[in-house]
């Protein structure tokens, strides 16, 4: 059953001239595989466009508002604003999950897989907004919904990767260097999944999952930062 995208327009405060552009932003490739008669293409080209628009608007804002920061600092701040974690969080805040057009199989996916879909849909939505209403509407949308998260990123130091930050704080607070261990791994060789624990001595401080050991370790470090109250 087709979603009522007028509800989303009301929520976002935009009235699309070309309604198909809005719908297409939510059309995952898997949906077209199950619905070959669907009248639109999938959202990957809009995602490509939206990614560029998002990066431009965020870069311009950071460049203008923080004249004393180095290129490296601004780059890390931007990465924290436009990464999968942040974009999927914003997508959930806007209830974009309710409008995704997915195959029956993809509808069952949760966790990281759904995060990636939501983040890509956010970029596609920005691309569709740019095509329909231009850069200024995109700027207003990004300023309100994404750049508004900058204070928490700076306060919680989310621009620093979790492993580095957790190691720094662990050494500072308890004089221990964290260690990591794989707790569980599953899946075929081409699609392995890992659950990793981060330890402070014998204490299991946090756990994380990912499609690589590095990703799982990063998630474990973030989990430990939250559980320790070090964010």
Q: What sign does the CA torsion over 170, 176, 182, 184 have?
A: negative
Segment 61-81, tens digit of pLDDT: 999 999 999 998 899 899 889
**pLDDT above 70 covers what percent of the chain?**
99
Contact 145, 90 (CB under 8 A): yes
Domain of 167 in residue numbering reads as 162-228
Other CB atoms within a 10 A radius of the CB of residue 40 amount to 15
Q: Give the model's pLDDT for residue 121.
A: 97
> Do the beta carbons of residue 109 and residue 211 sit within 8 Å?
no
Residue 130 has a pLDDT of 98
98 lies in the same domain as 182: no
Task: Reply yes or no on whether the pLDDT at 122 is more than 60.
Answer: yes
Residue tagged active-site, from 47, 106, 115, 123: 123
The closest of 147, 136, 137, 131 to 43, measured between CA atoms, is 131
Could you read off the pLDDT of 24-74 as tens digits, one per residue?
999 999 999 899 989 999 999 999 999 999 999 999 999 999 999 999 889
Q: Are residues 143 and 181 in the same domain?
A: no
Once rounded to an integer, what is the mean pLDDT over residues 4-31? 94
Q: How many domains does the chain fold into?
A: 2
Q: Is the dihedral of CA 63, 65, 67, 73 positive or negative?
A: negative
Same domain, 38 and 128: yes
Same domain, 135 and 182: no
Question: Are 67 and 173 found together in one domain?
Answer: no
CA-wise closest residue to 28 among 122, 121, 127 = 121
Find where tokens 């195959």 sit: 103
Per DSSP, the three-state class of 197 is strand
Longest dimension (CA), the chain: 62
Phi-psi category of 27—alpha, beta or left, where left has phi over 0 and alpha has psi -120 to 50? beta
What's the rounded Cα separation, in Å, for the pair 195 and 133?
A: 43
User: Taking residues 214-219, what's their average pLDDT?
Assistant: 88
Residues facing 199 on adjacent strands: 179, 204
pLDDT in tens, 153-197: 898 778 888 888 899 899 999 999 999 999 999 888 877 889 999
Q: Which residue in the list 51, 115, 132, 223 is annotated as catalytic?
A: 51
- Could you confirm whether 51 is annotated as catalytic? yes
What CATH number did the domain enclosing 121 receive? 1.10.1520.10
Nearest to 181 by CA among 211, 158, 202: 202
Report the distance separating Cα 43 and Cα 96, nearest Å. Answer: 14
* d(C-alpha 18, C-alpha 124), whole Å: 15
The overall average pLDDT reported for the chain is 91
- Same structural domain for residues 60 and 171? no
């Amino acid at each position: 059953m087709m979603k009522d995208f007028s509800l989303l327009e009301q929520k976002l405060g935009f009235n699309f001239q070309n309604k198909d552009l809005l719908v297409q932003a939510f059309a995952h490739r898997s949906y077209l595989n199950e619905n070959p008669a669907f009248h639109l293409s999938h959202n990957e080209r809009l995602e490509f466009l939206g990614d560029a628009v998002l990066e431009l608007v965020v870069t311009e804002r950071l460049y203008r508002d923080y004249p004393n920061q180095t290129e490296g600092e601004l780059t890390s701040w931007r990465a924290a604003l436009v990464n999968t974690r942040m974009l999927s969080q914003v997508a959930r805040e806007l209830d974009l999950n309710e409008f995704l057009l997915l195959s029956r199989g993809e509808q069952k996916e949760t966790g990281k897989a759904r995060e990636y879909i939501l983040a890509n849909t956010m970029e596609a939505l920005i691309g569709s907004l740019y095509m329909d209403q231009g850069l200024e509407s995109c700027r207003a949308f990004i300023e309100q919904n994404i750049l508004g998260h900058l204070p928490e990123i700076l306060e919680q130091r989310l621009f620093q990767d979790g492993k580095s930050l957790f190691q720094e704080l662990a050494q500072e607070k308890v004089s221990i260097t964290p260690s990591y261990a794989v707790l569980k791994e599953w899946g075929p060789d081409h699609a392995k999944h890992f659950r990793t624990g981060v330890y402070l001595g014998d204490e299991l401080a946090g756990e994380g999952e990912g499609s690589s050991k590095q990703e799982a370790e990063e998630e474990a470090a973030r989990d430990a930062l939250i559980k320790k109250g070090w964010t």
